[in-house]
Homo-oligomer: A and B are copies of this chain.
Amino acid sequence: MSTAPLTIACVQTEPIFGDVDANLSALSAAVATAAGNGAQLVVAPELCTTGYVFESRDEAFELADAVGDAGPADALADLARELGVHLVAGFAERDGARLYNSALIAGPGGPLGVYRKLHLWENEALFFERGDRGMPVFATPHGRIAAMVCYDAWFPELWRLAAVQGADLICLPTNWVPIPGQADGQMPMANVLCMAAAHSNSLFVAAADRVGTERGQPFIGSSLVVAPTGWPVAGPASPTAAETVLVDVDLAEARRQRAFNTFNHLLRDRRTDIYDRTLGSGVVEGWH
């Protein structure tokens, strides 16, 4: 792992539903600008080439492709190659007759792999299969990175699985929607989840959200980069405008900060003897 700073950018865009060419064009411009500003690793939103609100499986199928199809997925990989950056970007992945809500992980040398969203949100279950490739962690010259997509972040098990497998940075392409109960001036709960996960696993989080309203569904922006301390080091970005957050980080901090003191290390302190016990044995019937 390099000990040099890594410059991370989260590119917050506003995709136009179904207009892949326009979306790729806007994304390419934003990623190129970020690279020009020094970004070495760029995260783009969930389903950033197609848009999110599919009305039918056929519609999703027509817009989906795979790495090697000379379509949008390859265009994302080409963008990483041309700009000499690592890119983690959400796309609709077609694999035979199956569709996945995926994230491409690509570097200057080509695609490293694909993460398939494990936890599908709402109508996604009508179009996509649940991810079937676990939680891959990708070894890069900058450090070990992993991807999660949107609702995955609601599952602390997955953050932990990535951390235990050595991830230093979680890249989170997302399409966050408003959650009831957020008061004016409060940080979105999705940001709070990223902070808690970064802190309790001691890893960096780079979340790239989209903005705008699509077929009646608003999205909330607020892209951010969180340090292993849990505090944001860039963002949250605007809730409404397309913009990029960019920051220098030292990924080695993720591993250093896992040891709090002589006695405590976040991953070694885990009581797997307890968590993995048979569930259901712990209910005490007191009723008084």
Q: Tell whether, in the assembled complex, residue A192 and residue B189 are in contact, meaning their CB atoms are under 8 Å apart.
A: no
Q: Could you say which residues of chain B place their CB within 8 Å of the CB of A113?
A: 284, 286
Q: Could you say which residues of chain B place their CB within 8 Å of the CB of A58?
A: none
Q: Tell whether, in the assembled complex, residue A155 and residue B230 are in contact, meaning their CB atoms are under 8 Å apart.
A: no
| A196 CB–B CB distance under 8 Å | yes
- Which of A113, A264, A280, A281 has the most chain B CB atoms closer than 10 A to its own CB? A264
Q: Could you say which residues of chain B place their CB within 8 Å of the CB of A227?
A: 181
Which of A13-21, A28-36, A41-49, A160-168 lies at the binding interface? A160-168
Q: How far is the CA of A169 from the CA of B242 in the complex (A)?
A: 39
> Which of B151, B180, B282, B284 lies in contact with A229, CB distance below 8 A?
B180
Q: Could you say which residues of chain B place their CB within 8 Å of the CB of A241?
A: none
Q: Tell whether, in the assembled complex, residue A288 and residue B108 are in contact, meaning their CB atoms are under 8 Å apart.
A: yes
Per-residue interface assignment for chain A, residues 115 to 127, with 1 indicating a CB less than 8 Å from any chain B CB and 0 otherwise: 0001111110100
Q: Could you say which residues of chain B place their CB within 8 Å of the CB of A122?
A: 260-264
Per-residue interface assignment for chain A, residues 94 to 137, with 1 indicating a CB less than 8 Å from any chain B CB and 0 otherwise: 00000000000101111011000011111101000011001111
| A186 CB–B CB distance under 8 Å | yes
A263-288 residues with Cβ-Cβ distance < 8 A to B are: 263-264, 266, 269-271, 274-275, 277, 279-288
Q: Tell whether, in the assembled complex, residue A138 and residue B261 are in contact, meaning their CB atoms are under 8 Å apart.
A: no
| A247 CB–B CB distance under 8 Å | no
Q: Which residue of B lies closest to A160 (CB)?
A: B156
Q: Tell whether, in the assembled complex, residue B283 and residue A161 are in contact, meaning their CB atoms are under 8 Å apart.
A: no
Which of A3-11, A68-76, A139-147, A211-219 lies at the binding interface? A139-147
| A238 CB–B CB distance under 8 Å | no
| A159 CB–B CB distance under 8 Å | yes
Q: Could you say which residues of chain B place their CB within 8 Å of the CB of A193?
A: 196, 199-200
| A67 CB–B CB distance under 8 Å | no
> Which of B141, B154, B156, B274 lies in contact with A134, CB distance below 8 A?
B274
Q: Tell whether, in the assembled complex, residue B160 and residue A157 are in contact, meaning their CB atoms are under 8 Å apart.
A: yes
Q: Could you say which residues of chain B place their CB within 8 Å of the CB of A288?
A: 107-110, 112, 140-141
| A231 CB–B CB distance under 8 Å | yes
Q: Which residue of B lies closest to A286 (CB)?
A: B112
Q: How far is the CA of A159 from the CA of B137 in the complex (A)?
A: 25
Within the complex, the shortest CB–CB distance from A174 to chain B, in Å, comes to 15
Q: How far is the CA of A39 from the CA of B109 in the complex (A)?
A: 63
Per-residue interface assignment for chain A, residues 45 to 56, with 1 indicating a CB less than 8 Å from any chain B CB and 0 otherwise: 000000000000
